[in-house]
Amino acid sequence: MSKKKSQLVDGMTLAEEFKNVNIKNELLAGLTVALALIPESVAFAFVAGVSPILSLQTSVVIGVVAAIFTGRPGMISSSTAAISVVMAALVASHGLEYLFGAVILMGLIQLLIGVLKLGKYARMIPYPVMLGFLNGLSIVIFTSQFELFKLNTTSGREWIQGLDMAIVLALVLLTMGIIQFFPKLTKAIPPSLAGIIILTLIAVSLDNFTGYHLQTVQDFAGMTLKGGLPKFYIPQLPLNLETLQVIFPYAFIAGLVGLTEAVLTLRVIDEMTDTKGNTDKEIVAQGLANLVNGFFGGMGGDAMIGQSIINVKSGGRTRLSAFVAPVVLLLFIMFGSSIINLIPLAALVGVMFMVVVGTFKWESLKYRGKIPKQDIVAMLAVTGITIFSDLATAVIAGVILSALAFAWKKGSEADAQVIDNEDGSRTYKLSGSIFFGSVLNFKDLFTPNQDPEVVIFDFENAKVMDYSGVEAINAMVEKYDLLGKKLLSFKLVVTVETSLKKQTN
């Protein structure tokens, strides 16, 4: 990645950002994302135990604020599954007022992390962890669409059966085919938007001319999706320690989960566009978005990798498309509900399946035997934890696994070449890093009882990396001292801010 491109996104002015921008592509990309956000937001509402309108309005508020203050132009923020899962238990046990309070506190925590510029630690996330995250998230997105293959019945939601399922699957495949091949006909309209429009026309035609009804957004929501402007609201909560004890755990976990997903989404979009966003600025934007959202009665959210990919692939590159998406969503909620309610779920499933195809790192299936086993283990672990637990836990586990694997590998590289000199002394020509991961191996390199009276440690090709390494050397110095043998050192370099307890000559 060139330095010029990094600067172009990271520190550019609004005038620079919108210079040579294709406004039509930005607007159409925003429209496409707005349509794709609808079923996702409705589904997240069911997960969290809130009304669909509340989730849709959350997407509007978070989307607008994050787009204005974003550190990664082109990235989409909304209500998300990750936050919904965290907040569901709070809503069930304490109700909406505590949810709003937790979202406000969540925003403040994220703001603090951004102001302290802790986003730099995101660079510690290894690439195998990124691959595991993307693969796991792809599978989560894929399986989350299964709910759209069910019907509302008196006994709950049940799978579509027989011919109806075959028709739905055929229309999903048709949507995917349109998205894949439509750009070969014209690039004037984003292929995802074209797929949604064509499938909506097919659904309306089938309904009017044959009486065959495809499941729509309205059917999925169980209500006509129509609402108004989000309104400012102060949560009615007692301001005391007991309230803080209730909401803090949820706010803290949701804040970390949200920022983890936002930072990883930022890195994915960076790679897709060959540009560089500002991590700390994006964290502040996410915090502001959730803070404002809490005061407008929202359920909290973060960046959405699926919709961000749709936006970028549809031509969205600036904050304009990210701003248009929530604004158009708001207009749909207020004035275009009749259009929203007609969109067949098959079209939206097809769009998301194409996101899955584009997000999953297929090349990772061929890595066996080509990359270190520890990287494959870390990647698979992150994928599994992302699917069965949550993103933040998966990333933390992946980083820990990668760090331990690195420490083990570097620890096994500590070695010594033994040279018997003409004057009767013995030289240990050391190599590798001496630190907590290698101290046991380091001690096994020497044979004090069999060594001559004068021993030389040659550190020219070795480095002492931490206090554990210093202590390991001290232990050897003391052992040779007890045996009455003289120990010399050569080119000893200690990279920690300490010194040996007993200096060697």
Which residues neighbour 150 within 8 Å (Cβ) at sequence distance 6 or greater? 157, 158, 159, 160
pLDDT at 491 over 70: no
Q: Quickly state the pLDDT bin for 173 (edges 50, 70, 90).
A: very high
Q: Which pLDDT belongs to residue 59? A: 93
Q: Which pLDDT belongs to residue 328? A: 92
What's the whole-number average pLDDT of the chain? 84
Q: Which is nearest to 434 in space by CA: 448, 455, 456, 415?
A: 415
Asked if residues 411 and 443 have their Cβ atoms less than 8 Å apart, the reply is: no
Return the exposure string of 175-205: e unless at least 16 CB atoms fall within 10 Å of the residue's CB, then b. Answer: bbebbeebeeeeeebbbbbbbbbbbbebbee
Out of 176-185, 254-263, 296-305, which region has the weakest mean confidence (pLDDT)?
Answer: 254-263
Q: Which is nearest to 408 in space by CA: 440, 380, 384?
A: 440
- pLDDT higher at 134 or 429: 429
Looking from the CA of 475 toward its CB, the CA atoms found within 13 Å total: 12
Mean pLDDT of 118-130: 77
Q: Quickly state the pLDDT bin for 490 (edges 50, 70, 90).
A: low
Which tokens belong to 18? 């919108």
Asked if residues 257 and 82 have their Cβ atoms less than 8 Å apart, the reply is: yes
pLDDT at 178 over 90: yes
pLDDT at 124 over 50: yes
Q: Which pLDDT belongs to residue 170? A: 95
Q: What digits encode the pLDDT tens for the residues 278-320?
A: 999 999 999 999 999 999 999 999 998 888 988 998 888 889 9
Out of 2-11, 217-226, 249-258, which region has the weakest mean confidence (pLDDT)?
Answer: 2-11
Which domains can be identified in the chain, with CATH numbers? 21-234+243-362 (no CATH), 373-411 (no CATH), 413-490 (3.30.750.24)
Q: Quickly state the pLDDT bin for 109 (edges 50, 70, 90).
A: very high
Q: Distance from CA of residue 401 to its chain's centroid?
A: 18
Which tokens belong to 113? 């992390």
Asked if residues 81 and 47 have their Cβ atoms less than 8 Å apart, the reply is: yes
pLDDT at 103 over 90: yes
User: What is the spatial distance between Cα 151 and Cα 163, in angstroms, rounded to a whole number?
Assistant: 14
User: What is the spatial distance between Cα 91 and Cα 86, in angstroms, rounded to a whole number?
Assistant: 10
Asked if residues 137 and 359 have their Cβ atoms less than 8 Å apart, the reply is: yes
Return the top range by mean pLDDT from 97-106, 214-223, 269-278.
97-106
Q: Quickly state the pLDDT bin for 495 (edges 50, 70, 90).
A: very low
Asked if residues 261 and 82 have their Cβ atoms less than 8 Å apart, the reply is: yes
User: What is the spatial distance between Cα 418 and Cα 430, in angstroms, rounded to a whole number?
Assistant: 9
Return the top range by mean pLDDT from 319-323, 484-488, 500-504.
319-323
Percent of the chain with pLDDT over 90: 32
Q: Which pLDDT belongs to residue 500? A: 45
Percent of the chain with pLDDT over 70: 92
Mean pLDDT of 456-465: 87
Q: Which pLDDT belongs to residue 14? A: 63
Mean pLDDT of 154-163: 85
- Residue corresponding to tokens 């698979």: 380
Q: Which pLDDT belongs to residue 342? A: 86
User: What is the spatial distance between Cα 199 and Cα 284, in angstroms, rounded to a whole number?
Assistant: 39
Asked if residues 446 and 414 have their Cβ atoms less than 8 Å apart, the reply is: no
User: What is the spatial distance between Cα 101 and Cα 85, in angstroms, rounded to a whole number?
Assistant: 17
State if pTM tops 0.75: no
Q: What digits encode the pLDDT tens for the residues 47-97?
A: 777 888 888 899 999 999 999 999 899 999 998 877 887 888 899 889 899
Which tokens belong to 159? 């799978």
Mean pLDDT of 177-198: 86
Cβ neighbours around 498 below 10 Å, total: 11
Q: What digits encode the pLDDT tens for the residues 315-370?
A: 888 899 999 999 999 998 888 777 778 889 898 888 888 878 887 888 888 877 77
